[in-house]
Structure formats: structure tokens, C-alpha cells
Structure 1
Amino acid sequence: MFIIKLLIRNAFRHKLRTGLTIVGVAIAIVAFGLLRTLVDLWYAGVEASSASRLITRNSISLVFPLPISYKDRIRQVPGVRDVSWGNWFGGIYKEEKNFFPSFAVEPRSFLAMYPEYRVDPVELKSFLLDRKGAMVGAKTAERFGWKVGDQVMLRGTIFPGQWEFVIRGIYHGAAKSTDETQFFFHWDYLNEVMRRTVPRRADQAGYYIIELKKPDQAAEVSLAVDATFRNSLAETLTETERAFQMSFVSMTEAIVIAIQIVSYVVIVIIMVVAANTMAMTARERIPEYATLKTLGFGGLHIAGVIFGESLVIAMAGGVTGVILTFPAARWIETELSQFFPVFTVAPSTICMDLAAAFIVGAVAGIFPTWRGVTIRIAEGLRRVG
């Protein structure tokens, strides 16, 4: 207990300098934690993927559709429990900035495959019975002040025109990591409009979702589905939901790597700042260290005092940074929900924050510790006065 009190008193002997160093470490830890959380979010869709679902798309690109008739042939493939389908809609509410993920889906089979989307049974029934009905995530509903029964008009981008919907259900995520910003409506409604306006775009699905009877059959079912449509006008590429999500992540891999590099650079910069602070402290206390040696204290005791002081300052900044990370993450999730629908700081990120603070303190204390331990008594006492 005496040692701890000594370390704290030494650390705060120069309150302004120590305070500024702690603030600098805290800001660096907040930045590091938020950047690491952003990297985790990039892979959130991958981590949330189910092993029992496959995605089938056009083998050329996702932008090319597949005939809706494929659904019946996919159902006949051994190992397939059920099939659903949908299209990315890309609707905009009033202004360009009001963008959110919107999909035309076959609602019954889709919701049966995605139990992570939870909706009130009464609202679900209403949604299934209304061809113009829509189901929206709780965060998007809160963002625009929508409630059940409201009429909503979206401007189509991929499918041009003004599209009218009635909010019939608001879903919540089964877990905190579930995306609650999406907008789902009936694929039949989209198809009917396409038949009237652009017949050549009717009876087409952007992708198929396959539910497996057994997750370990993913490879053989994927091969069987693709073999079914080989040499057709629209060949398919079937992959696990995880691999499908990873294909989007890989497109932006350079951005992820850049974010990771920046997060480490932030730590290196604050490490240099902390090292400079500790070096200044060690230079000022050279006479004290020499006096301690004169009184019989060994190098281990002196090293403990200097190294411990460095760790106290760094860990104080680290703990402060961790505490500040949570309100910062909540602000991002609230104010930037259209870009970051889920911004949750993981326990692993907190561990990395504290580990980074510890490393900063350890590295910053190495040279001052060596300097204090190796100083000669005569040289140190010469500086007294």
C-alpha cells in the first residue's frame, strides 16, 4: 500500500504535466477503441452470418438478375429445406441523405429463415396480408418518427418511380448486433409494378436465399445448385452467407487495412509523448535517485519507482479513455445511424485498449528506468542544488 501511495504521489508531483499526459493517453485510447470498433463493424455482417443459409446469385455479378422460375428447381435439390428470394431496392425517403437498406422480399419464407428479426405477431400478420405493407427496423422508424399505420413514399433508384408503402410492422433485433435500420416489403408488389411499367424487368430475382436441412451440407448443396443451372443463360454462383458477406468486405479491404494502421499509429504517437514526459521526470529526479542509492536502496527499488510511475500515468489515461469510449460510441450510433446502424464496443476492444495503455506505460518507462538505475552516485549528487 505504501508503494502504491508513493507511486501516485510521484506521478502527480507535477499536476499539470501529468494531467496533460493522462488526457493525451485518454484521447489516444478513445481514438484507438473507436477505430478498432469500426474494424469490427466491417466484419459484423460476416460474424452474424448463419451456417445454415446459402446465397445464390448470378455468376457474373450481383447486379445481374436471375429468373424467378429458378426457385422451384432449387427446392428440388437434395439438402434444401426452403428457398426465399429478393431484390435490393435502394429507395430514398424525401432527400438523398435519407438513405437506408431496403429490400423487396418474399416475406413468409424470408422471415422464417431470419429469426433474428423479431416483430409483434399482430403486426406480422398485418404485414403479410397487405401487398403494399412494409416492415421497418426500430432504429429507422425512430429516425423518421414512423409508426405502424403510417404511409411512406420512397423514391426508387434501381427501380425508378414513387413507391407508396404502409408501415405494418416494426422489428427489433434478437441481439444488440442485429441491424435495425432495414426496410422490407413484398417482392410481389415490386413485380406487379414491373409487369405494368417495364415488363422485361419482371419475374426476376436479385438473389436467392437457401435454408439447408443440415449446415454440414453447404458445400455439396452449393455445387448441386450451380450444376443445375450450368450452361444456362443465367448461370449461378452459390456460396455460404458468410462467404457472400466476406465478398463485400474484400472490396473495401484496403480501407480496413488503412484504419488498422491509423489505430496503431495513434498508439505509437502517444507512446512517444509519454516517453518524453517520463524522460523529463527522470532528468529532474536524478539527484533523488542518487540519494536513494546512498541510503542503500538497490537498483530494483529505484526501477520499481520509475517504471511504476510510468505505468500509473499510462493506466490512468487508459482507464479514462475506456470510460469515455462508451459515450462516444453511443453518440456515433445515435447521430450517424445511417452509416453505423450498430456501434457496440466489444469486450475484446476494451482489453486491447487496456493492453495498449499498458504497453505505452511500459515502453515509455524503459529508458528513464535504465537511466535511473545506472546513474552513478557521484554524478547524481553533483546535480543537487
Structure 2
Amino acid sequence: MFMLKYIIRNLFRHKLRSVLTVVGVAVAVLAFGLLRTLVGLWYAGAEHASDTRLVTRNAISLVFPLPISYLDRIRGVSGVSSVSYGNWFGGIYIEEKNFFANYAVEPRTYLALYPELVLSEKQKNDFILDRKGCIVGERLAKTYGWKVGDLITLKGTIFPGNWEFVLRGIYHGAEKATEERLLLFHWSYLNESVRQSFPSRADQVGFFMIGVKRPELAPEVSLAVDSMFKNSLAETLTETEKAFHMGFIAMTEAIMVAIQIVSYMVIAIIMVVAANTMAMTARERIGEYATLKTLGFKAGHLAGLIFGESVAISVLGGVLGVAATFPVAHWIEVELTQYFPFFSVSMETLLLELLAALSVGVVSGIFPTWRGATIRIAQGLKRIG
């Protein structure tokens, strides 16, 4: 108990230095946690992908289409429960900064394949029956203030022109990770317009979504579909939904690795800062440590005092950083909802934040502890006066 009281009294003997060190550790821990969460969110789409859904696209690249005539042949593959299809539309709402994903899909089969898009039966039927109808996610609707019945106009990029849609439904995600920033409309509406303006681009889709009866059938179905169209004018590549997402993530993997490296560098830098602070503290108190030794304190007692102070300062900063993580994460989720569907910090990240803070205290306290514990009484007493 005496040792604990001594450590607490020593914590803020040099108030400004200690406060700055605590704040520095807190900021470093906060940055570490937010960067780790950001990396985790980047992989969230792949982690939450269904293991009973496959994606079939052109084997050369996603930018090359597939004939809609493949649909019936894919349906006939053993193990396939349902098939849907669609195109990336790439429309812009008013101006380019208003970016969000928009797809032309076959509504009935697509919604059946994606039960996580929760829509009332009335809105679902209204969407299916209206050729110019569309549905959007709840977050997207809130962003632009849309409500059911509104007329939405998108400027086509891949498919030129102004495209008008009637908002027939607003879905919400069954899970927090479900994307709520999508706009979906009828593929038939797109195809009919394309047939009139660009006949050569009609009756083509960007992808087929395949539902399999059981997850273990996925490799067999993938092989069967790709074998069916081998040596055709449009060969296919079929992969699980998770692998499809990971293909996009791989394009930016170097950025994610860089972010992870930065998160660890932040902790390394604050270790150096904290170590310098504790070294200054130990150097200033050399005379006190020598005096304590003359009073009977052992090297172990001094080591406990110095090391305990280092760990206490770092842990205090770590707790402050963890506490700040929640309001900052909430602010990011609310203010940057256009970029992050959710920004939830996991318990694992919080524990790693505390572990990082503890590591800072341990590492930064090693040298000052060794120096204070091994100081000779005569050498230390020279510093007095």
C-alpha cells in the first residue's frame, strides 16, 4: 500500500510533463484503434458475404459483359437453387461528389437472393410491378432526404442520358454490416432503353448471382458453370461472393498494409517519447533514489517505484484513449455515413488499445528502472545540492 501511495504521489510531481505524456499516449492509442477499425471495415463486406452465393462474371474482366442467354443454362446446373443478374450502372445524382452504388437488377430474384435487404411486402410488390421503380437503402435515403414516391434522376456515365426512377421502397439492413447506400432498379428498364439507343449493347449483363443449395456445393457449381462456357466468345469466371469481394480489396491491399504499418508506428513513436520522459524523471531523481537506499530501500523497491510510475502513466493514457474511442467512432459514423456504413469498434480492438498502452509503459520504463535501481549511493548523493 505504501508503494502504491508513493507511485501516485510521484505521478504528477511535474504536472505539465505528466499531463502531456498521458495525452500523448491517449492520442496514440486512439489513433491506433481507429486505424485498426478502418482496416477491419475495409474487409467487412468480404467477412459478411454469404457462403451460399456465387458471382459469375466475364473471365477477362468485370468490364466485359455476358449474354443474358446464359441465364437458362446456369439455372439448369445441378446444385443451383436460384439465379439473378444485373449490371453496374454508375449513375451520378446531380453532381459527381454524390457517389453511391447503383445497379440494374432483376428485382424478384435479386431480392430473394438477398434477404438481408429488409423491405415491407407492399414496397417490395410496388417495386416489382413498376418498371421505372427503384429502391434505396435507409442511409442513402436519409442522406438526400428521399421518401417513397419521390422522382430520382441519375445522370448516366456508362449509359449516357438522364434516367428517371420512382422511389418505391426504402429498405433497411437485417444486420449492422448490411450496405444501406445502394440504389437498385429494373434491368429490363435499362435493357429496353439500351436496345433503342445502342442495339449492340442490349441483352447483356455484367454479372450473374447464383444461389446454391448448400455451401459445400459451391466449388462443384463454380466448376460446372465455367466448364459450360469454356471456349465460348464470353468465357466465365465463377467464384464465391467472398472471393469476389476480396478481388476488389486486393486492388487496394497495399494501402491497407500501409495503414496497418502506420498504426504500429504511432505506438512506436509514443514509446520513444514516453521513454524519454521517464529517463528525464529518473535523471532528476537520482539523488532521491540514493537517499532512499541509505534509508534501507532495496533495489527491488526502487525498481517497483520507477517501473510502476511508468506503467501507471501509460495505462492512464490508455484508459483515456479507450474512453475517447467511443465518441470519436460515433462522430465518424454519423458525420461520414456516406463513406462508412457503420463504424463500430470491436472489443478486440479495445483490448489491443489497452495492451498497446501497457506495452508503452513497460518498454519506456525498462531503462529508467535499471538506472535507478543500480545507482550507487555515493554517486547518487553527489547530485544533491
Structure 2-normalised TM-score? 0.97
Q: Distance in 2 between matches of 1:19 and 1:216?
A: 57
Aligned AA for 1:381?
Answer: L
Deviation digits for residues 326-375 of structure 1 (CA, Å, limit 9, x no counterpart): 22222222332332233222222112211111111111111111111111
Give 1:321 deviation, angstroms: 1.2
SS in 2 for 1:171: strand
Q: Distance in 1 between matches of 2:21 and 2:2?
A: 24
Q: Distance in 2 between matches of 1:363 and 1:339?
A: 37
The 5 Å alignment of 1:153-232 reads: 153-232=153-232
Deviation digits for residues 19-44 of structure 1 (CA, Å, limit 9, x no counterpart): 11111111111211111111111111
Stretch moving more, 255-264 or 112-121: 112-121
Which residue of 1 is the match for residue 118 of structure 2?
118
Which residue of 2 is the match for residue 384 of structure 1?
384
SS in 1 for 2:342: coil
Give 1:152 deviation, angstroms: 0.8
Please tell me whether residue 335 in structure 1 is matched to residue 335 in structure 2. yes
Gaps spanning 5+ residues in structure 1: where?
Answer: none
The answer to whether the 8 Å contact 1:275/1:363 transfers is yes
The answer to whether the 8 Å contact 2:86/2:205 transfers is yes
Which residue of 1 is the match for residue 282 of structure 2?
282
Deviation digits for residues 303-343 of structure 1 (CA, Å, limit 9, x no counterpart): 11111111111111111112222222222223323322332
The answer to whether the 8 Å contact 1:22/1:317 transfers is yes
Which residue of 2 is the match for residue 144 of structure 1?
144
Q: Distance in 2 between matches of 1:161 and 1:370?
A: 74
Which residue of 2 is the match for residue 299 of structure 1?
299
Q: Distance in 2 between matches of 1:22 and 1:282?
A: 17
Deviation digits for residues 39-86 of structure 1 (CA, Å, limit 9, x no counterpart): 111111110111111110000000001011111100111111110111
Q: Distance in 1 between matches of 2:73 and 2:2?
A: 77
SS in 1 for 2:363: helix
Aligned AA for 1:111?
Answer: L
The answer to whether the 8 Å contact 2:82/2:109 transfers is yes
Deviation digits for residues 217-242 of structure 1 (CA, Å, limit 9, x no counterpart): 11111100000101111000001111
Q: Distance in 2 between matches of 1:239 and 1:310?
A: 52
SS in 1 for 2:19: helix
SS in 1 for 2:192: helix
SS in 1 for 2:158: coil
Deviation digits for residues 96-149 of structure 1 (CA, Å, limit 9, x no counterpart): 100101111111111111122112222222212211111111111111111111
SS in 2 for 1:49: coil
Pairs aligned (count): 385
Deviation digits for residues 246-281 of structure 1 (CA, Å, limit 9, x no counterpart): 111111111111111111111111111111111111
The answer to whether the 8 Å contact 2:101/2:183 transfers is yes
CA gap 1:304/1:66 in 2 versus in 1, 3 angstroms: same
Give 1:379 deviation, angstroms: 1.2
Aligned AA for 2:79?
Answer: G
Which residue of 1 is the match for residue 258 of structure 2?
258
Give 1:297 deviation, angstroms: 2.0
Aligned AA for 1:194?
Answer: V
The answer to whether the 8 Å contact 1:54/1:210 transfers is yes
Please tell me whether residue 348 in structure 1 is matched to residue 348 in structure 2. yes
Q: Distance in 1 between matches of 2:175 and 2:150?
A: 26
Q: Distance in 1 between matches of 2:338 and 2:378?
A: 66
Aligned AA for 2:42?
Answer: W
Q: Distance in 2 between matches of 1:216 and 1:224?
A: 14
Structure 1-normalised TM-score? 0.97
Which residue of 2 is the match for residue 249 of structure 1?
249
Give 1:189 deviation, angstroms: 1.2
Stretch moving more, 271-280 or 330-339: 330-339
The answer to whether the 8 Å contact 2:86/2:207 transfers is yes
Please tell me whether residue 99 in structure 1 is matched to residue 95 in structure 2. no
Q: Distance in 1 between matches of 2:207 and 2:289?
A: 72
The answer to whether the 8 Å contact 1:177/1:344 transfers is no
Which residue of 1 is the match for residue 74 of structure 2?
74
SS in 2 for 1:152: strand
Aligned AA for 2:84?
Answer: S
Give 1:2 deviation, angstroms: 4.5
The answer to whether the 8 Å contact 1:77/1:221 transfers is yes
Q: Distance in 1 between matches of 2:128 and 2:8?
A: 64
What fraction of aligned residue pairs are identical, expressed as a percent? 66
The 5 Å alignment of 1:316-335 reads: 316-335=316-335
